[in-house]
Amino acid sequence: MIVGVGIDVVAVDRFEASITRTPALREKLFTDAERHLPLLSLAARFAAKEALAKALGAPPGMAWHDAEVIKEESGRPRFEIRGSVLQVADSLGVCTVHLSLTHDGGMAAAYVVLEGELG
């Protein structure tokens, strides 16, 4: 059963301007493992975190570091969720988080589908 769906699109040049103007955003938005990735990867991960928040209903108090995008050995992206994000996902009955990322033509996008058990 689908519990939530979220999508987000990021203009890479605007994202770059924001993190250049406010360097502390890298630390606020990204974990240590994510923070040093190339710009396109960061923009896609930001879109992923926004899409996840939307899929969860944008609850207040979610911490950016509680949703980390991990790249599997196959190259497939997935979320590692913990803390405030895990708490909200558990309260909604989420058992699987599906994630798709893309970037092209100066845009980065992410799509998130939250799946729960039929009950």
List the domains of the chain with CATH numbers: 2-116 (3.90.470.20)
Give the pair of three-digit tokens for residue 22: 């406010």
**Distance spanning both ends of the chain, measured CA to CA:** 9
Rounded distance between C-alpha atoms, residue 45 and residue 37, angstroms:
10
pLDDT in tens, 19-49: 999 999 999 999 999 999 999 999 999 999 9
- pLDDT band for position 60 (50/70/90)? confident
Please, what is the average pLDDT of the chain? Answer: 95
pLDDT in tens, 72-105: 999 999 999 999 999 999 999 999 999 999 999 9
Rounded distance between C-alpha atoms, residue 32 and residue 101, angstroms:
20
User: Are 114 and 92 within 8 A, CB to CB?
Assistant: yes
| pLDDT, average across residues 49-73 | 95
Other C-beta atoms lying within 10 Å of the C-beta of residue 94? 20
In the predicted structure, residue 119 carries a pLDDT above the cut 70: no
Report pLDDT for 59.
84
| pLDDT, average across residues 6-29 | 97
